[in-house]
């Protein structure tokens, strides 16, 4: 058994009390930083908060945070920077980022600084590092197991579920000398296209706090299934064979993605997890999937099936009395592909046959193509630019190419939507968000309205940091 059993919180605590307790714990880990972060008025933040860290962090911390990953590791190996210095900088940056975007479930200053100090001492004594990630700070989603710590996967009723061992992937990274310094937010069910839960509210975008946290300029890789270790991760539908869950990295650079993958594969994780595969480019561009047309800057830059009718997710959500988040409801209760009675074994087999037929047909198109470039579409009600690769079980990399430019990315007024989903998405495109929010901020200051969170759709919890 990898986790302790959970209790039923409805017997003694409301879901609101549990959420408030988790938020208080998160805030306490930030308050423990030394030196402490200054207080920030989070009710009056600008739309774009990316410039704030430079105004608050020290010059040394800013320099550390802006170093390319490979340079940062090299400087620590040469003892030009210590792992302790770097870890402190990342901890303070993470605590500040939490106040600006609501992305952290807890910081880990005690264990992170202790391990960083151990790495510094070992390097100074022996002259060589233990592993390829020497001193590199990493964060992990909250549902990755850390021995002795809770992991809820976004479900209130799992608030006291505790890992009895580290997740396999975490063990590999720690053995490679990475320093785990923070845990990050995740959505209810883990299946939203936005990060929203009843524990913490919504995680927002640093470039525009009125938007979801995606499309923020970092790199992300969705590996092929059975490629990277998933032992020790907490989620519903574990063992689901129709569309197998995977875990992958996010990084500020492609070098970070490459280093992560090399470190994991070099560790031969298939020895511990026999289901993993020990595997060893031409580029095509998917400008449009023929169903929903991407927005102009995305163009320029370049079915979900719950075979048990979502009853596992329903049971876990209902156990605590927490409300269904809108996107949880959308993917399960309002999903026409989710049958009320679930699928029979025969129907599951039929779907798997259709899946394999689709993979075979798609494979025929790949004879001269190694990679397809397609837009990542983060809106809650259209999945195919991302779920396509889950069905096919192809790896997918999110990369940073460009930013929205209002001078050239005009709305295509001549475009006629193909269907209701396409119409819904097409009408979302607007480069006037800032003007609308500026007007609302003026009204708010003039007549004393409450936080603009409701207008922006952030649905922040009353005691959340933002």
Within-domain flag for 213 = yes
Q: What is the structure's pLDDT at 23? A: 96
Q: What is the structure's pLDDT at 287? A: 43
Q: Is the pLDDT of residue 323 over 80?
A: yes
Within-domain flag for 371 = yes
Within-domain flag for 265 = yes
Does 234 lie in the same domain as 294? no
Report the domain count for the chain.
Answer: 2
- In this prediction, residue 225 has a pLDDT band, given cuts at 50, 70 and 90, of confident
Q: Is the pLDDT of residue 391 over 70?
A: no
- In this prediction, residue 210 has a pLDDT band, given cuts at 50, 70 and 90, of confident
C-alpha–C-alpha distance, residues 144 and 142, integer Å = 6
Q: What is the mean pLDDT of residues 363-377?
A: 54
Does 355 lie in the same domain as 242? no
Q: Is the pLDDT of residue 462 over 60?
A: no
Within-domain flag for 331 = no
Within-domain flag for 455 = no
Does 244 lie in the same domain as 115? yes
**Which tens digit of pLDDT belongs to each residue from 11-33?**
678 999 999 999 999 999 999 99
Torsion (CA) 277, 279, 284, 288 in degrees, nearest 10: 10
**Which tens digit of pLDDT belongs to each residue from 265-274?**
999 998 888 7
Does 219 lie in the same domain as 119? yes
Handedness of CA 432, 438, 444, 449 (dihedral sign): positive
Q: What is the structure's pLDDT at 418? A: 60
Burial of 243 (0-12, 13-18, 19+ CB in 10 A): buried
> Given 3-state DSSP classes, what are the helix, strand and coil percentages for the chain, each rounded to the nearest 5?
40, 10, 50
Does 258 lie in the same domain as 291? no
Q: Which residue is it, tokens 């009408």? A: 427
- In this prediction, residue 461 has a pLDDT band, given cuts at 50, 70 and 90, of very low
Does 72 lie in the same domain as 100? yes
Does 195 lie in the same domain as 173? yes
Q: What is the structure's pLDDT at 193? A: 74
**Which tens digit of pLDDT belongs to each residue from 78-108?**
999 999 999 999 999 999 999 999 999 999 9
Q: What is the mean pLDDT of residues 420-440?
A: 49
- In this prediction, residue 372 has a pLDDT band, given cuts at 50, 70 and 90, of low
Q: What is the structure's pLDDT at 464? A: 33
Does 181 lie in the same domain as 87? yes
Does 300 lie in the same domain as 249? no
Q: Is the pLDDT of residue 385 over 60?
A: no
Does 130 lie in the same domain as 157? yes
The domain that holds 160 is classified in CATH as 3.90.1300.10
**Which tens digit of pLDDT belongs to each residue from 164-192?**
999 999 999 999 999 999 999 998 887 77
**Which tens digit of pLDDT belongs to each residue from 236-260?**
767 666 667 788 899 988 889 889 9
pTM (predicted TM-score): 0.70
Range(s) of the domain holding residue 417: 285-305+343-426
Burial of 116 (0-12, 13-18, 19+ CB in 10 A): buried
Q: Which residue is it, tokens 């640093």? A: 206
The percent of residues in the chain predicted with pLDDT above 90, rounded, is 39
C-alpha–C-alpha distance, residues 431 and 151, integer Å = 39
Handedness of CA 87, 174, 204, 17 (dihedral sign): negative
Q: Is the pLDDT of residue 336 over 80?
A: no
């Amino acid at each position: 058994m990898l986790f302790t059993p959970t209790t039923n919180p409805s017997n003694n605590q409301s879901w609101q009390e549990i959420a408030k307790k988790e938020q208080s714990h998160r805030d306490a880990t930030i308050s423990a930083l030394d030196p402490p972060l200054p207080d920030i008025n989070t009710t009056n933040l600008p739309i774009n908060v990316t410039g704030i860290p430079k105004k608050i962090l020290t010059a040394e911390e800013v320099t550390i945070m802006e170093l390319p990953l490979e340079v940062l590791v090299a400087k620590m190996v040469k003892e030009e920077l210590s792992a302790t210095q770097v870890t402190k900088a990342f901890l303070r940056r993470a605590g500040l980022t939490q106040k600006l975007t609501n992305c952290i479930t807890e910081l880990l200053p005690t264990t992170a600084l202790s391990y960083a100090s151990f790495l510094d001492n070992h390097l100074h004594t022996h002259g060589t590092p233990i592993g390829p990630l020497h001193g590199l700070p990493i964060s992990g989603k909250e549902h990755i197991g850390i021995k002795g710590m809770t992991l809820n996967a976004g479900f209130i009723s799992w608030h006291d579920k505790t890992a009895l061992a580290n997740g396999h992937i975490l063990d590999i990274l720690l053995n490679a000398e990475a320093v785990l310094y923070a845990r990050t937010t995740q959505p209810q069910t883990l299946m939203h296209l936005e990060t929203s839960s009843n524990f913490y509210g919504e995680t927002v975008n640093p470039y525009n706090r009125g938007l979801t946290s995606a499309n923020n300029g970092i790199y992300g890789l969705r590996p092929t299934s059975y490629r990277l270790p998933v032992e020790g991760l907490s989620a519903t539908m574990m063992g689901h064979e129709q569309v197998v869950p995977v875990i992958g990295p996010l990084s500020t650079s492609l070098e970070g993605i490459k280093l992560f993958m090399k470190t994991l594969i070099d560790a031969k994780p298939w020895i511990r997890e026999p289901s993993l595969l020990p595997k060893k480019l031409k580029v095509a561009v998917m400008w449009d999937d023929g169903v929903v047309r991407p927005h102009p800057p995305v163009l320029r830059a370049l079915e979900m099936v719950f075979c048990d009718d979502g009853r596992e997710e329903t049971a876990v959500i209902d156990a605590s009395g927490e409300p269904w988040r809108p996107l949880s409801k959308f993917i399960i209760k309002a999903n026409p592909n989710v049958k009320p009675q679930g699928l029979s074994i025969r129907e599951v087999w039929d779907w798997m046959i259709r899946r394999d037929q689709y993979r075979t047909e798609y494979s025929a198109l790949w004879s001269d193509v190694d990679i397809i470039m397609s837009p990542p579409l983060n809106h809650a009600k259209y999945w195919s630019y991302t779920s396509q690769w889950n069905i096919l079980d192809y790896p997918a990399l999110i990369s940073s190419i460009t930013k929205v430019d209002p001078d050239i990315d005009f709305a295509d007024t001549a475009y006629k939507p193909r269907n209701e989903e396409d119409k819904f998405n097409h009408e979302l495109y607007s480069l006037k968000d800032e003007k609308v929010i500026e007007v609302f901020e003026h009204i708010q200051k003039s007549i004393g309205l409450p936080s603009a969170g409701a207008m922006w759709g952030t649905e922040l919890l009353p005691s959340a940091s933002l």
